[in-house]
Structure 1
Amino acid sequence: MIQLSQVSKVVQRHPFHLVDPSPWPFVASLAAFTCTIGGVMYMHAYANGQFVLTCGFSILFISMFVWWRDVVRESTFEGHHTGIVQQGLRYGVILFIVSEILFFFAFFWAFFHSSLAPAIEIGSIWPPKGISVLNPWEIPFLNTLILLLSGCTVTWCHHAIVANFRSQAILSLSLTVVLAILFSSLQVYEYKMADFRLSDGIYGSTFYMATGFHGFHVFIGTVSLFICLIRLIQYQLTQQHHFGFESAAWYWHFVDVVWLFLFVSIYWWGGL
């Protein structure tokens, strides 16, 4: 005789997705906490700080991979992402992007607090004496063009998916991933060529925290778009169901807009 609880599990009479218990939120939170501890240890030159930071990032990356794998399976193969579920996911992504905006708001606040009224300890001038700032019209401006072009290609991909132009969608998303990798490579090169470091006073702290945190967002966005590219090649993104790509595209446009503020305020105005 079939129990009533078993029948209710087999026959779902609502459009919502009640997710099964998962260990990945707990593992990801521990990994994020490990990253925080490791980052503080590394920045203050504690022993094994870099090792703790690397371990935290590794566990976080693995938990992201297996968590996304479960979400993709629920969406593509189990059919749990109904219209109402997708609407809830959209609200969640919007709230997540708003929280990231507040992160960058704090970094910009710190930058303008120090630059608009420089303390007497740094000579009451900005940039502080002894800091050789980067030329904004070299690598930063090139990176600006690259990131804006990647925003165009990811929009092209979105329209191609909606219009069911598969070859155009694959081409445009591949170009977006290549441009994202090029941006990150140029930023790493820029960091190596810079004459100041994170430990060089308030300028180095605000510069590397703002641009480095943005660079981390570029890395996360690149991974997201690359996974979307793999799913697109495997016919997992359709005209009606492509929210995974849509959320990655929203995130990428957010990264574009933040970089414009970084370029104008920190690279250009901050280096005058």
Structure 2
Amino acid sequence: MMIHTKIINQYQHFSFHLVDPSPWPILTSFSLLNLTIGAVSYMHGYPNGGYILTSGLLLTVLGMILWFRDIIIEGTYLGHHTQEVKNGLMLGIILFIISEIFAFLSVFWCFFHSSLSPAIEINAWPPAGITPLDPFAVPLLNTVVLLSSGAFITWSHHALISGDRKGAIVGGIFTILLAIIFTALQYAEYLEAPFTMADGVFGSTFFASTGLHGIHVIIGTIFLLVGLIRIINYQLTTKHHFGLEAAILYWHMVDVVWLFLYVFVYVWSAN
């Protein structure tokens, strides 16, 4: 099967990429199943649920690393990523970002459903006994930090396109540092919050929305870090840098979602 596929690739007269058989999709599928079973077992207190969850997470990460490694090799060294393939990849990342937006939309739906028309048991927003966080303290600082990171990664992108490799690397480094600062500040904010996720619908919607965003920040940071490493290793050029463009699109989505979170979850809820 491998030989047959390679022969087709050698004599093909079209610009699409016929992918060779790979073990990583099936490995990642079973790893995700293991991760799900482990998460459910851990949350319900079953014996060894934590070990199953940890093994599922490690196997999922391993499968993703090996799978993405092969894709980088195909695009960077084997020349399989033609313009048609890049167009397909761009469509894929756009659809993926749209799906992420709808995930945040579901959380915002819950927030507005509870805040715009509170149930009689709540009677007000925020509910009585809940002290919301000061939106002009750590949340405002985090807003400046995150928007600044978006500016730096845009600078890095334009520097790479114009052939300024040093500027691309410096911009990427500053972006990652700011992303780490954002995550650290949000963690500190969680530790000092006067309420928890168990404090009714306010605590649930707050930690669900900001926590979901925080996970996306961590994923985006890893995404950008991989792009920076590839720039340093001369794998991304002025013409061949789709991986970085995908990471930048994802990061800008994270920026925009945070603006909505800051305005409604922090500022509006505090007034």
Residue 126 of structure 1: how far off its partner (Å): 1.2
Structure 2: distance between partners of 1:4 and 1:119: 64
Provide the rounded CA distance (Å) in 2 between the counterparts of 1:6 and 1:216. Answer: 39
Q: Percent identity?
A: 51
Deviation, 1:202, is 1.0
TM-score using structure 2 length: 0.92
The Cα shift of 1:133 comes to 1.4
Q: Which moved more, 1:112-121 or 1:169-178?
A: 112-121
2-side partners of 1:188 and 1:118: how far apart? 29
The verdict on how the C-alpha distance between 1:263 and 1:4 changes in structure 2, with shifts beyond 3 A counting, is closer
- Written as runs of structure 1 = structure 2, the 5 A alignment for 1:1-272 is 7-40=7-40, 48-122=48-122, 124-272=123-271
| One-letter amino acid of the structure 1 residue matched with residue 73 of structure 2 | R
Cα shift at 1:18: 1.2
Paired amino acid for 2:77: F
Deviation of 1:176 (Å):
0.5
Q: 1:94-130 CA deviation, whole Å, 9 max, x = no partner?
A: 00000101000000000000111111223x1111122
**1:140 partner letter:** P
Q: Distance in 1 between matches of 2:57 and 2:4?
A: 44
> SS at 1:68's partner residue?
helix
Q: Give the distance between the partners of 2:176 and 2:6, measured in 1 at CA.
A: 45
* Separation (CA, whole Å) in 1 of partners of 2:194 and 2:51: 26
Any conservation in 1 of the 2:5–2:20 contact (CA below 8 Å)? Answer: no
Q: How far did residue 246 of structure 1 move?
A: 0.4
What is the DSSP-based 3-state SS (H/G/I as helix, E as strand, rest coil) of the residue aligned with 1:58?
Answer: helix
In the TM superposition, residue 48 of structure 1 has moved relative to its aligned partner by: 4.9
Aligned-residue offset at 1:31: 3.5
Would the aligned equivalents of 2:34 and 2:53 in 1 still touch at CA under 8 Å? yes
Distance in structure 1 (CA, Å) of the matches to 2:130 and 2:34: 33
State the Cα deviation string for residues 111-155 of structure 1 (Å, max 9, x = none).
000111111223x11111222211111111111000000000000
Deviation at 1:7, TM superposition (A): 4.2
Note the residue ranges of structure 1 that are not aligned, 5 or more in a row.
none
Bigger mean CA deviation after superposition, 257-266 or 53-62 = 53-62
Paired residues of 2:162 and 2:238 also in contact (CA < 8 A) = yes
Q: SS of the counterpart of 1:152?
A: helix
- Quote the Cα distance in structure 2 between the aligned partners of 1:200 and 1:229: 41
Assess, with a 3 A threshold, how the Cα gap between structure 1 residues 143 and 119 changes in structure 2: closer, same or farther: same
Asked if the contact 2:9–2:18 (Cα under 8 Å) also holds between the matched residues in 1, the reply is no
SS of the counterpart of 1:176?
helix
Residue identity opposite 1:264 in structure 2: V
- Larger mean Cα displacement after TM superposition, 77-86 or 31-40: 31-40
Distance 1:16 1:221 in 2: 28
**RMSD of Structure 2 on Structure 1 (CA):** 2.0
Shift of 1:33: 4.0
The count of residues paired between Structure 1 and Structure 2 equals: 269
